[in-house]
Amino acid sequence: MSADTKMLTITNLYAGYGKVQVLHGISIDVSKGKVVTLIGSNGAGKTTTMRAVSGMITPTAGEITLNGKRIEGMESYHIAKLGLAHSPEGRRVFATMTVTDNLTLGAFPRLTGSRPKGDVAGDLERALELFPRLKERRMQLAGTLSGGEQQMLAMARAVMLNPEVVLLDEPSMGLAPILVAEVFRIIERLKSEGVTMLLVEQFAAAALGVADYGYVLENGRISVHGPADKLRNDPSVKAAYLGGGTSH
């Protein structure tokens, strides 16, 4: 993937919480228009990586580059203005605001940043087309949506940034099987529209199915990486991460 434009580059990243060091020098490349997935067991550092990239925690060392600009250690809102959208673990929608307001807020960094503002109203309509269930509930308060609908809202809100890169952290967590399938269909759809994504998923097999490239995190270090189909057939990856999960 060296010939592609690198959208997000993580180089030798160290990060953690207080005295607990979680990431020990990881490097990840995400090229434009590609979907890259991070696989690993609990506590390996997947969510920590996402948080360090979007500025929710400050890395202790290393570089993160978004579309050519260094972003490590910047405030989250600033990174968002540069075009990085984060759909966080556990959804975190604005519960007391309507679906439409949640989505419009997703575009807020476009209005205040230096990137092109674009057509927010048009994008809102497009996002609602992409997520028909949200369209039906556009005036409903986000807190009254079911878990699956909230997850879709979190993803749609991220897309409203017109982002250079979207971070999707556990989009299928806590969802009924029928909705898990739906979430993966939406990821496919976003991919076909050229959205660049970094994906963390409990269903590793399904994640590798939709991704172009994958990294395996073990105790805060990258142990294996390679094209997704190759990882999917790697016996050691299969044994450690793919067995037993729901497949699609």
Partner 1 sequence: MKRSHHLLAVVGVIALLLFPLGVGNPYYIHLLETIMIYAILLFGLDIVVGYTGQVSLGHAGLFGVGAYTAGVLVIKLGAPLLVALIAAIGVTAVFGAILALPALRVTGPYLAMVTLAFGTIVQILINEMDWLTNGPMGIKLEKPSLLGHKLDEREFFWLVAVLLVLSLIVVHRVLRSHLGRAFEALRGSPVASDCMGVSVYRYKVYAFVISAGFAGLAGSLYAYSEQYISPNSYNFELTVLFLLAVIMGGRKSRIGSMVGATIIVLLPKLLDDIETFRYVSVALAVLVIATTVFGIQKGRVTAKQMAVPVVGSIALAGLSFWLHTMTDWRLSIFGVIMLFVVYYLQDGIVGFVRSAPNLAKPKPEAQVAGASLAGGDAVATSAASGSSEILKADGVLMQFGGLKALNNVSLSIKRGTIHGLIGPNGSGKSTMMNVLTGIYQPTAGSVSFSGRSVVGCTSSDIALSGIARTFQNVQLFGEMTALQNVQVGLHHTFDSNLLDVAVHTPRYRRESKAAVDRAMGLLQFVGLADLTFEEARNLPYGKQRLLEIARALALDPQLLLLDEPAAGLTAPDIKELISFIRKIRDHGITVILIEHHMDVVMSMCDTVSVLDFGQKIAEGAPAAVQADEKVIEAYLGGTAA
| Shortest spacing between CB 157 and partner 1, in angstroms | 18
| Shortest spacing between CB 46 and partner 1, in angstroms | 9
Determine, following the binding rule CB under 8 A, whether residue 242 of this chain makes contact with partner 1: yes
Spatial separation of the C-alpha atoms in residues 142 and 140, rounded to whole Å: 6
| Shortest spacing between CB 78 and partner 1, in angstroms | 15
Phi and psi at residue 182, in whole multiples of 5°?
A: -60, -45
When the beta carbons of 164 and 169 are compared against partner 1, the nearer one is 169
Question: How many other C-beta atoms are found inside a 10 Å radius of the C-beta of residue 29?
Answer: 19
Determine, following the binding rule CB under 8 A, whether residue 174 of this chain makes contact with partner 1: yes
Determine, following the binding rule CB under 8 A, whether residue 202 of this chain makes contact with partner 1: yes
Tell me whether residue 52 is exposed, middle or buried, using C-beta atoms within 10 angstroms of its C-beta: 0 to 12, 13 to 18, 19 or more: buried
Give me the count of residues in the chain. Answer: 248
When the beta carbons of 153 and 161 are compared against partner 1, the nearer one is 153
Half-sphere exposure of 235 (CA within 13 A, CB side): 0
Q: What tokens were used for 91?
A: 């959804």
Binding test (CB under 8 A) with partner 1, winner from 177, 193, 219, 227: 177
Determine, following the binding rule CB under 8 A, whether residue 114 of this chain makes contact with partner 1: no
Contact positions with partner 1 (CB under 8 A) in 1-20: 17-20
Contact partners, residue 201, CB within 8 Å, separation at least 6: 37, 39, 168, 170, 171, 172, 207
Determine, following the binding rule CB under 8 A, whether residue 178 of this chain makes contact with partner 1: yes
Determine, following the binding rule CB under 8 A, whether residue 147 of this chain makes contact with partner 1: yes
Determine, following the binding rule CB under 8 A, whether residue 47 of this chain makes contact with partner 1: yes
Contact positions with partner 1 (CB under 8 A) in 69-108: 89-90
- Number of amino acids touching partner 1 (CB under 8 A): 37
Determine, following the binding rule CB under 8 A, whether residue 180 of this chain makes contact with partner 1: yes
Contact 172/202 with Cβ under 8 angstroms? yes
Strands 213-218 and 35-40: parallel
Enumerate binding residues for partner 1 (CB under 8 A). Answer: 17-20, 39-43, 47, 89-90, 146-149, 170, 173-181, 202, 204, 240-248
